[in-house]
Amino acid sequence: MYDVLIVGNGPAGISAGLYLKRANKDILIISKQDSALKKAEKIENYYGVQSITGEELYNLGIKQAKNLNIPMEEDEVTNIEYNENDKKFIVTTVNNEFESKNVILATGTNRMSPKIKGIKEFEGKGVSYCAICDAFFYRNKDVAVIGNGNYALHEAKILKPIAKTVTILTNGNKMVENRDCSNFDIDESNIREFRGDNVIKEVDFENNNKKKIDGVFVAIGTASSVDLAKKIGALVKNNNIIVDENMQTTVKNLYACGDCTGGLLQVNKAVYEGAKAAVSIIKNK
């Protein structure tokens, strides 16, 4: 079991890892290596750096972590649970399962939102972003999951024993190759819009087909820090994870840092919050 498991290898996650490793903590960083930092064309407002691309700065952080022999796993985290009896977190990925005394969420914020007519209008009226939170409300009902990756499959598996039917809608994208795909109906048609009255009732496709549904769960791309925080019951407000002055969430020993906590979406803030979370864990021993 690890002392600290860090989800995300951007500025916040790497910063936390550097402090924790120097304090001789047994840590692991898990990431899909898709940090938003890599998409920055040019950075000219970071202390001590005249000009650098986001990808260059990202690679320097990874190199720094490797120089300290910080173990890093390239995998996708799909769920986090807490075992109250054993006082440990269980972090589930596509390929493995890990146990840790503390977890730091540092994957940034999910900037992907499906641009489909009806999604925003029916949020809270049939559109959900967390299967483990809302599956109970769809017992014996027909539901759909929007997405084409392992995160969408994970949400579908949560819904399957509860809902009447579960269909994965990829909205024109190819479904990820996974043996679990055979357990679900998958529709790769492009979606035109979601319709209903007070609640969602139907999905209309661009090929003019229609499908009756009672609920839609959005699971595009990979699970963000906010998605994972919601699953474990941490307080989220305005799509930001609520943390205290030590970067601890409302769940004990679960920390969050970087873009997922809101405020200034800048590298310097992420680096500070990662360091702050690490120091808080070190002090708590």
Which tens digits make up the pLDDT trace of 132-177?
Answer: 878 888 999 999 999 998 889 989 999 999 999 999 999 999 998 8
Which tens digits make up the pLDDT trace of 191-247?
Answer: 999 999 989 999 999 999 999 999 999 988 888 898 899 889 999 998 899 999 999
Q: What is the pLDDT of residue 261?
A: 94
Write down the pTM of the prediction. Answer: 0.82
Structural domains in the chain plus CATH codes: 2-111+223-284 (3.50.50.60), 127-218 (3.50.50.60)
Can you tell me the distance from the alpha carbon of 259 to that of 149, in angstroms, rounded to the nearest whole number? 23
Q: What is the mean pLDDT of the chain?
A: 91
Q: What is the pLDDT of residue 285?
A: 67
Q: Check whether 59 has a pLDDT greater than 60.
A: yes
Can you tell me the distance from the alpha carbon of 255 to that of 211, in angstroms, rounded to the nearest whole number? 41
Q: What is the mean pLDDT of residues 88-96?
A: 94
Q: What is the pLDDT of residue 222?
A: 80
Produce one character per residue of 194-203: b if its CB has 16 or more CB atoms within 10 Å, e if not.
Answer: bbbeeebeeb
Instruction: Name, in order, each residue with C-beta under 8 angstroms of 116's C-beta and a sequence gap of 6 or more.
Output: 146, 171, 191, 192, 193, 194
Q: For residue 131, what pLDDT band results from cuts at 50, 70 and 90?
A: confident
Q: What is the pLDDT of residue 159?
A: 95
Q: What is the mean pLDDT of residues 18-23?
A: 98
Handedness of CA 183, 189, 191, 196 (dihedral sign): negative
Q: Check whether 111 has a pLDDT greater than 70.
A: no
Q: What is the mean pLDDT of residues 78-88?
A: 91
Calculate helix-pair angle for 11-22, 267-284, nearest 10 degrees: 30
Strand 215-218 versus strand 210-212 pairing type = unpaired
